């Protein structure tokens, strides 16, 4: 059974896709140029025009239908699995932290590239599932989750048009969140809230810092 946050995130991405794409060109690169210009994660407008919302909105844009489907199918399968193990509010926080860390990573690696896609969130959830299950006494390697992570990280480096920084940033955020969520047999709610809140704040700071390097990228 699908969980509410997982369902809401998928629905939000599908709705945004419908409103930001030329539906007559759905088989190709149908993302409307205005949407890309206004909402993509991009260093210059964040740093110079204070368009901070781009740290968030870029994750809800997708280049084409294939991009959307790949991300949403992966998110739905992994998100439902993680949301079933932790509370829905905590899962929503994991998604938010993974999102800002994914944006921070994308800006750190390529601040002069307009980045779109929910891949940072997907990688964050993937990492969080692995860490939570491992800390809770499970063996995610035996179920193929570890292999899935390794394969996806490798593909991030070898496939063209991929935001390596976005993927690795989201993955890092997910590892922190998974560690904070900890062993689900012995929950420490306050430690989890404090750690994840700090991780989200740090991700936002890193994103703003990375955006500010658009004139002279550090990577």
pLDDT tens digits for 38-63? 999 999 999 999 999 999 999 999 99
The whole model's pTM is what? Answer: 0.93
65-83 helix and 88-109 helix, angle to the nearest 10 degrees: 140
For the stretch 106-154, pLDDT in tens is 999 999 999 999 999 999 999 999 999 998 888 989 888 999 999 999 9
Contact 143, 80 (CB under 8 A): no
Residue with tokens 């404090």: 194
The 3-state DSSP composition of the chain as helix, strand, coil percent (nearest 5) reads 70, 0, 30
Q: Among 23-37, 82-96, 134-148, 154-168, whose mean pLDDT is lowest?
A: 23-37
**Residue 217 falls within a domain, yes or no?**
no
Contact assessment for residue 207 and residue 107, using Cβ atoms and an 8 Å cutoff: yes
Whether residue 136 lies inside any domain: the answer is: yes
Residue 62 lies in a domain: yes
Which tokens hold the place of 89? 């509010």
180: CATH: 1.20.1540.10
Q: Could you tell me if residue 130 is inside a domain?
A: yes
Specify burial of residue 33 (Cβ count, 10 A radius: 0-12, 13-18, 19+).
Answer: exposed
Domain containing 74: what range?
4-211
Residue 219 lies in a domain: no
Number of domains in the chain: 1
Residues 181, 187, 190: CA angle, nearest 5 degrees = 75
Is 216 inside any structural domain?
A: no
Contact 174, 128 (CB under 8 A): yes
What is the rounded (10 degree) CA torsion for 166, 93, 51, 7?
80
Q: Quick one: pLDDT at residue 2?
A: 58
Residue 171 confidence (pLDDT) above 90: yes
Burial class (CB in 10 A: 0-12, 13-18, 19+), 139: exposed
Q: Is residue 181 one of the residues assigned to a domain?
A: yes
- Res 1: pLDDT: 57
- Give the per-residue pLDDT at 137: 87
């Amino acid at each position: 059974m699908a969980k509410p946050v997982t369902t809401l995130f998928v629905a939000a991405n599908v709705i945004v896709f419908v409103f930001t794409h030329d539906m007559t060109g759905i088989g190709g690169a149908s993302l409307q140029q205005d949407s890309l210009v206004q909402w993509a994660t991009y260093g210059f407008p964040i740093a110079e025009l204070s368009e901070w919302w781009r740290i968030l909105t870029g994750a809800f844009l997708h280049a084409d239908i294939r991009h959307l489907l790949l991300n949403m199918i992966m998110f739905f399968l992994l998100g439902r699995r993680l949301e079933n193990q932790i509370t829905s509010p905590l899962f929503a926080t994991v998604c938010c932290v993974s999102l800002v860390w994914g944006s921070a990573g994308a800006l750190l690696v390529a601040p002069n590239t307009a980045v779109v896609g929910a891949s940072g969130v997907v990688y964050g959830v993937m990492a969080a599932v692995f860490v939570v299950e491992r800390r809770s006494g499970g063996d995610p390697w035996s179920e193929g989750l570890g292999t899935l992570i390794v394969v996806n990280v490798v593909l991030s480096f070898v496939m063209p048009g991929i935001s390596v920084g976005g993927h690795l940033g989201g993955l890092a955020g997910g590892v922190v969140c998974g560690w904070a969520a900890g062993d689900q047999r012995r929950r420490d709610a306050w430690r989890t809230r404090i750690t994840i809140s700090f991780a989200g704040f740090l991700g936002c700071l890193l994103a703003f810092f990375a955006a500010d390097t658009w004139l002279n990228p550090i990577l």
